[in-house]
Structure 1
Amino acid sequence: MRNSRNKQKERSWIESQKTITMTLIACSLIIFGFITTHPIEIMQGIYDIIIHPDSLITDYLVVGGIGAAFVNSGVLTLLFIYLLNRHHVPFNGATFAALFLIAGFSFLGKNILNVWTIITGVYLYAKYHRQPFGPLLYIALFGTAMAPIVTEIIFHATLSFPFRLILGIILGIGIGFILPPLALHFFKLHEGYNLYNVGFSAGLIITVLVALFKSFGYHPSSQLIWGEDYNMLLALYLYLLCASLLVVGYFSHADAFLQFKQIMTHSGKLSTDFIQLEGFSATLINMGLNGIMVTSYILIVGGQLNGPTLGGIFAVIGFGAYGKHLKNIIPIMIGIIIGSLVKVWSINDPSILLASLFGTALAPIAGTYGWFFGILAGFLHSSVVLHIGQLHAGLNLYNNGFSAGIVASILVPLIEAFKRHISK
C-alpha cells in the first residue's frame, strides 16, 4: 500500500523534470555571477581560484571575487549533472544531496580543475572490478572532499613543476581508487548516523597522507580566509532560491504540504531518501525551509554570509532531500549554541558557524533518539570539530563529516547500551 502511494506521488515529476530543476539551480549560480561581476574579472578570478591553496578555511569569494566563485560553482555543478545523466544515475535524494554539496564546496575548496583526478580514480576502481561506474558516482562526488590535496601538491609542493604535476595526478587518482571500499567499510562504524559518511572516510585517508608528508619534512599550508560584507547580496540570492523551492514544491502537488509533514516523521538515518518516500514536491518544500532557517540563523547570530557559510547552507539544503529536516537539525544546532555559551569560543566564530551548519550531519541521532541526545551530539561535536582538523591539516574539506563520524561512532553505541540497561 505504501509503495503504491509513493508511485502515485511521483507521477507528477518525471526524471527529466527533476534534472531540469537542478540544472536551473546551477544556471542561477552562473547568472548571478555574471550579474555581479564583469566577465574579464570572472576569468581572472577563476584562474586565481585554481592556483590558490584550498586548505580549510579558504573563501573563494575573497580569492577570486564573487562572480568567479559563483561561476565556478555553477559550471562544476553542471558538469556533474552531465556526468550523472551520462551514466543514467537517477535524480533521487542522494543525487540532490551530492550536487548541492558540490555546488556549496565550490565556494571553499573545489574547483573546475582539482576534482577530476579523484573522479578518475573511482572510475578506474569500477573498471578494475568490472562494476558499472554509475552506482559509484555518489562516492566519487562526495570524495572530491579531498580535492585540496591535489592543488597542494601540483601548485605548492617544494618540487619542480613537472614532478609536482605527475605526483599530484597520481596521488589524486590513487585516493579515488581506494575510496570506495573504505567508504563502505567505515559506514559500519557509525551505522548511518553520520550523513557525511565519505567525509569520515576522507578524514582518515588524508590523516594518514598528511602524517606521511610531515615525516618527509613537508608541512602543508594552513590558512583562514574569511570574507565579510557580503551579507545583503548573498542573503538576497539565498532567500530567492529557497523561496523558489518552496513555491515550486507547494504548487506542483495538491498534497505537497501533507507529504512534507510526513518527512518530519523520518529519523534521517542513512539512507533516507525523502524523494522516494514522500515525493519530490514535498522534498522541495523541506529543502527550501531548511535553507531559510539556516540562512536566517547565520544573520541572527551576527555571522557572515560568505563562501564557507554558503557551502554549509547549500549542504543543509541539499540534504533536505536525504536525511535533514527542521525537527532533526535544530537539536544539533542547539547543542552547538549551548557549547558556545559555556566553552571558550563565540557562536559567531568562523569554525563554530561552520560547525552549526555542517554539524547537522548528526541529525539522524536527534531523529532516532530524540532531542536530548541530539543536543548532546551537537555539544560534543562543537569541541571535537575544532581540534580534529589538525590531523588532516585542512586538506579534507568535510572536516565536520570527519568529526561527526567520530562522535557518532562513540555516542551511538553508548546510547544503545544505556537504552538496553534502562529497559531491563
Structure 2
Amino acid sequence: MTAFALALIGFGLLWDTPAGVVSGIWKIIRTQAGLITDSISVGGMGAAFVNAGLVTLLSIGILRAVRMNFSGISVASLFLMAGFSLFGKDVWNIFPIIFGGWLYSRYKREHFGRYVYISLFGTALAPVVSEIVTVGRERDKLLWYLLGVGIGVAVGFLLPAVASFTLRVHQGYNLYNVGFTAGLIGMVLASFFKSFGHTFEARLAWSTGNNLPLAAFLFGLFALMALAGFWWNGRSFRNVARITRHSGRLVADFVQLDGLPVTLINMGIIGAAATVYVLVVGGDLNGPTIGGVFTICGFGAFGKHLKNIIPVVLGVVISSFFMVWSLNEPNVLLAALFATGLAPIAGQFGWKWGIAAGVIHASVVLNTGFLHGGLNLYNNGFSAGLVCIVLVPLIEALRRDR
C-alpha cells in the first residue's frame, strides 16, 4: 500500500513542480469541498495526486500506529481515502474527524483500533470542516476555524455509535455502511446550517480532457496489481474464480478468505473494468471518476467481484434508456460506479435483483444530495442504504412466499 501511495505522489510530480504542487494543495485546502469538487480542476493534476498520495500515507501511518493487522478492510479504506482525496478530502480536513473517533475510543476506554476504520471512512464528512472554515474566512477567522474543527471533532465522536446501528438497518447489504451513517448525520447538520440562513450552492468543478494520460496510469496500475497477484499465486490464476462464490455481504474479507494474491488479481480486474466502463460511455476520467474507480478496486478486497457488480451497473445502464439523463453525465457516471456498493444484493439474491437495485439506486441517488447539502462525500452510500431499507425486506418477503 505504501508503494501505491508513492505511485500517486510520483505521478503527481510528473505534472508540476514542487512549488506548483504546494500552491495547488493550498488551493485545495482553501476550497469548499462539498460534492462535486474535482481536486484536479481546483489545484491541478500534480497537486491532486500528491494530495491523494499524502492522505494515503497518513492513513497508513495511523493504521500502523494502532497496530492493525493487514486485511481486506485495510485495503478498502486506504483506496477509499486515496480516491476521495481527488475530490473532497485533503491533508487537513480529515484530521478533526479522525481525532473525534480517537476521543470516542478514550471515552469508551477501548483501543482506537476498534474504531479506526470507522474514523477513516467517516472522513466522508470532511467537507463539513471545509464548509464552516471557508464561510467564516471573511468574518472572524479564528472563531470560525475553531467552530469548524470543533464540529468536525464532534462528528468524528458521534460516528462510531451511529454506524454500529445503521449496519443493523441494512443488514450488511450496503458495503458503504459509513456512507449511510454520514448521510444521516450530514442531513441533520445541513438542516441546522439552513436554519441559521446558510445556503448550500450547487457545485460542479469537473475537469475534462485528461482521459489519455489518466487511462494509461490506471491501466498500468491495475496491470501491475494483477501481475503481482499472478506472480505470488504461483504464476497462475488458480482459485481466482472461487472469489465469486462470496455474496460480498458484510463482512466479506477476501484477503483473509482467499489470500492476498487472489485478491490482488480480483482488484486489478475490476479496477480495469471500471475504467473501461467510464471510457466506453464517453465519460471523463478525472478526480471524481477515478475516486469511483479506486473505490471499486479497493472493495475488490472487501466484497466486490465481477459477478456481483455487473448486474448493479447494468441496472443503471438499463435505466438510462427510459429516464431523462444520459450515462456520461457527471452525477450519473458516479452513480454507476458507486452503485456497486449494492453488489451484495446481486451476490446474495441473484442478478435480477442486482439489476433492480441498480435501477432504483440510479433514481434515488440523484435526489439525495440536497438533503445533506453535498456535505457527505459518500452520497451514493447514503442512497444505497435507503435502497436496502426498501428493497431487501421486499426481496425476503417475496422469496418466503415462494
Q: Same fold (TM over 0.5)?
A: yes
Distance 1:135 1:128 in 2: 13
Partner of 1:134: 113
Q: Do 1:193 and 1:364's aligned partners in 2 also have CA atoms closer than 8 Å?
A: yes
Q: Does 1:371 align with 2:351?
A: yes
CA contact (8 A) 1:199 1:396 kept: yes
Which of 308, 333, 338 is the aligned partner of 1:353?
Answer: 333
Question: What is the distance in 2 between the residues matched to 1:262 and 1:44?
Answer: 47
Give per-residue Cα distances to partners, 1:379-420, cap 9 Å, x unaligned.
Answer: 000000000001001110000000000001110010000000
Residue identity opposite 1:350 in structure 2: P
1:256: how far off? 5.5
Query: d(CA) in 2 for partners of 1:134 and 1:81?
Result: 13
User: Which residue of the partner structure matches residue 16 of structure 1?
Assistant: none
User: Secondary structure of 2:245's partner?
Assistant: coil
2:372 to 385, 388, 392: 392
Match of 2:132? 153
SS of 1:81's equivalent? Answer: helix
Q: Distance in 1 between matches of 2:164 and 2:81?
A: 20
Q: Which runs of 5 or more residues in structure 1 are unaligned?
A: 1-21
Q: Which runs of 4+ in 1 moved over 6 A?
A: none
Residue 280 (structure 1) aligns with: 260
What SS class does the counterpart of residue 240 from structure 2 fall into?
Answer: helix
Given the superposition, is the C-alpha separation of residues 160 and 220 from structure 1 closer, same or farther in structure 2, using an over 3 Å criterion?
farther
Please report how far the alpha carbon of residue 99 of structure 1 lies from its aligned counterpart in structure 2 after TM superposition. 0.3
Q: Map residues 95-174 of structure 1 onto 2, 5 A cutoff.
A: 95-157=74-136, 159-174=139-154
Aligned to 2:24: 45
Corresponding position: 1:421 with 2:401: yes
> 1:255 Cα deviation (Å)?
7.6
CA deviations 1:20-66 (Å, max 9, x no partner) are xx000100000001112121111110000000011100000010000
Structure 2 match to 1:15: none
Distance in 1 (CA, whole Å) between partners of 2:257 and 2:334 is 29
Aligned-pair distance for 1:91? 1.2
Alignment partners' CA distance in 1, 2:139 and 2:167? 37
Q: Which one-letter code corresponds to 2:201 in the other structure?
A: S
Bigger shift: 335-344 or 217-226?
217-226
Relative to 1, partners in 2 of residues 1:279 and 1:58: Cα closer, same or farther, differing over 3 Å? Answer: same
Letter of the 1:308 counterpart: P
Query: Is 1:207 aligned with 2:187?
Result: yes
Shift of 1:114: 0.2
> Corresponding residue for 1:34?
13
The one-letter amino acid of 1:290's match is: I
| Separation (CA, whole Å) in 2 of partners of 1:394 and 1:137 | 24
Residue pairs, 1:295-306, within 5 angstroms: 295-306=275-286
Unaligned 5+ residue runs, structure 2? none
User: For residue 361 of structure 1, what is the amino acid of its counterpart?
Assistant: G
How large is the Cα RMSD of the aligned pairs? 0.9
CA distance in structure 2 between the partners assigned to 1:50 and 1:304 by the alignment: 24
TM-aligned CA deviation for residue 314 of structure 1: 0.2
Residue 346 of structure 1 aligns with an amino acid whose one-letter code is S
Task: Confirm or deny that 1:55 pairs with 2:34.
Answer: yes
User: Distance between the aligned counterparts of 1:240 and 1:37, measured in 2?
Assistant: 21
CA distance in structure 1 between the partners assigned to 2:139 and 2:125 by the alignment? 21
Query: 2-side partners of 1:395 and 1:324: how far apart?
Result: 26
Q: In structure 1, what is the Cα distance between the partners aligned to 2:16 and 2:358?
A: 38
Number of aligned positions between the proteins: 401
Distance in 1, matches of 2:175 and 2:231, equals 29
| Residue number among 304, 310, 313 corresponding to 1:330 in the alignment | 310
Which residue in 2 is equivalent to 1:292? 272
Correspondence for 2:292 among 312, 323, 332: 312
After TM superposition, the score normalised by the length of structure 1 is 0.93
Q: Percent identity?
A: 51
In structure 1, the partner of 2:245 is 265
**SS in structure 2 opposite 1:259?**
coil
TM (norm. structure 2) is: 0.99
The residue aligned with 1:246 is 226
2:58 partner letter: L
CA distance, structure 2, for counterparts of residue 105 and residue 233 of structure 1: 19
- Residue of structure 1 aligned with 2:388, choices 395, 402, 408: 408
1:65-124 deviation per Cα after TM superposition (whole angstroms, max 9, x unaligned): 000000000011001101101111111000000000000000000000000000000000
